[in-house]
Amino acid sequence: MRKSILAFIQNTSFKGEKLLAILLDPDKTSLDKLPEMASRIENLKANFIFVGGSFVENGITDLFVKTLKTHSEIPVILFPGDFSQLTNHADALLFLSLLSGRNPEYLIEQQIKSVPFLKNSTLEIIPTGYILIDGGTNSSVLKMSNTKPISQENIQLAVDTAVAGMYKGKQLIYLEAGSGAKVPVNSQIISAVKKHINIPLIVGGGIKTKEQLNNAFENGADLVVVGTAFENNNSFKF
Ligand code: 1GP
């Protein structure tokens, strides 16, 4: 039987160990680059590969993950911008609800649209509360979701949103500054949210340096996601 990815994340979080995921956007990475990318991810000792994006062409994620799987054994977790990005070639799915936003499309509509696929799927489905924090740019996820992020100063709102997500039954909370964010989620928000939840915490968006990575970990992130810095720099390392 396949091991549960959620159980693995819960377990490492419980032990205080830290996890790294590299995000690949099928819209930005061509298939012929995948062998090289996969070996770079392997060298970074990343625990997961996240696959997804805000504006991925319909249908390309399936072949993307299938090809990726021929080059890497690292578990692939879907991080989809919409329900068309689902594929059984991945191992798990972050079943996201955009809790910081007030757009029903990303709170429940996309989730309903995914059910016909998921009913017959082998994907491990991981209920995840997704919270956008202002990263100083009009990120793709903001444009696509047409929602407002939580200000970096509004720690209370970030905490209450995360705790509400936990009470609603989410298994993970994901604090997102947006891909290519000028500023990552700040330390105060990470540590305050971590203090008030007892489920694992994911942090991503705008993390480019080892200092920023360690800062997120030290303040309570269990899993950090890096996309742009890896994509843009062939010799990227932490
Ligand atoms: C994952 O969207 C982020 O949470 C990725 O952000 O591309 O800025 O690393 P970057």
Each residue's pLDDT expressed in tens, for the chain with a length of 238 residues: 457 999 999 999 999 999 999 999 999 999 999 999 999 999 999 999 999 999 888 889 999 999 999 999 999 999 999 999 999 999 999 999 999 999 999 999 999 999 999 999 999 999 999 999 999 999 999 999 999 999 999 999 999 999 999 999 999 999 999 999 999 999 999 999 999 999 999 999 999 999 999 999 999 999 999 999 999 988 888 8
pLDDT at 58: 84
238 is a domain residue = no
How far does the centroid of ligand 1 lie from the alpha carbon of residue 177, in Å? 7
Distance 166 CA to ligand 1 centre (A): 23
Q: How far is the CA of 1 from the centre of ligand 1 (A)?
A: 32
The pLDDT of residue 59: 85
61 touches ligand 1 (CB under 6 Å): no
195 lies in a domain? yes
pTM check: above 0.85: yes
Q: Does residue 45 lie in a domain region?
A: yes
Does a structural domain hold residue 189? Answer: yes
In a domain, 184, yes or no: yes
Does the residue 169 lie in any domain? yes
Residue 136: what pLDDT? 97
Specify if 113 maps to a domain.
Answer: yes
How many CA atoms are closer than 13 Å to the CA of 115, on its beta-carbon side?
Answer: 5
Assign 8 to helix, strand or coil. helix
Range of the domain at 115: 5-232
* Length in residues, the chain: 238
CB 223 within 8 A of CB 190: no
The number of folded domains in the chain is 1
CA of 141 to the centre of ligand 1 (A): 10
CATH of residue 177's domain is 3.20.20.390
* Atom 3 of ligand 1, nearest CA residue: 205
What is the rounded distance in angstroms from the CA atom of residue 60 to the CA atom of residue 233? 24
CA 9 to ligand 1 centroid distance, Å: 19
237 in a domain, yes or no? no
Mutate to test the pocket of ligand 1, among 176, 203, 224 (most ligand atoms within 8 A of CB): 176
Most ligand 1 atoms within 8 A of CB, residue of 25, 138, 142, 228 to mutate? 228
For the chain, the C-alpha Rg in angstroms (whole number) is 16
